[in-house]
Amino acid sequence: MKNGEFQFMMTSALAELTWPTILSKRHMFREIFLDFDPGAVSKLSEKKIAAPGSPASSMLSELKIRGIIENARQICKVTNEFGSFDKYIWSFVNHKPIVGQFRYPRQVPVKSPKSEVISKDLVRRGFRSVGPTVVYSFMQVAGLTNDHLISCFRYQECMNGSESREKGNNSEANGEIGKLEETTDSG
């Protein structure tokens, strides 16, 4: 989840902007937030980047900028603890996407009990602006939940992608078991 960490850092900050604005300024966001590298962003000077007249302050409030930098710091901590933000976030859904079987757009929720659990854990870890609705939005973007309508062509594509992901996790787990067995046999 290379850019997934950045998506998470930015999700709540960009909520106040329209998609056309975000897309037209993404090159500026990429430059300001150092190619979306959480490690580099975590080391930014909040005062310098949020200073009046800076490119960041012309697009985002100081509070949003501080939140992005703080979330980058927390992502680095999670990465150190779990090996990757990907492993951490996917652990909440047992490394398998939650599949909605929605026929109509009105059925798709804006949050879920799972997004509430994730939100609480993130807040406990020091993340900012990560309410259940923001987290659920991230879950949709990152593929943790497949909320495409069953009539949508992407529904089945996402289902096929989740099967590939599951096979990858099983082979990774089998590889770890093999390493453990080799260690146990030689010891």
Whether the predicted model's global pTM rises above the 0.75 cut: yes
Domain parsing of the chain, residue ranges: 1-83, 92-187
Domain spanning 92-187: which superfamily?
Answer: Hypothetical protein; domain 2 (1.10.340.30)
Instruction: Tell the CATH topology of 1-83.
Output: Endonuclease III; domain 1 (1.10.340)
Within the chain, where are the H helices?
4-11, 19-24, 26-32, 38-41, 46-49, 55-59, 62-82, 85-91, 113-125, 132-142, 153-186
> Are the CB atoms for 146 and 122 separated by under 8 Å?
no
Same fold, 1-83 and 92-187: yes
76 assigned binding-site residue: no
Judge whether 152 is annotated as a binding position.
yes
Give me the sign of the Cα torsion angle 62, 35, 135, 123: negative
Q: What is the mean pLDDT of residues 43-67?
A: 86
Q: Comparing 89 with 58, which gets the higher pLDDT?
A: 89
Q: Return the minimum-mean-pLDDT range out of 3-7, 119-123, 127-131.
A: 3-7
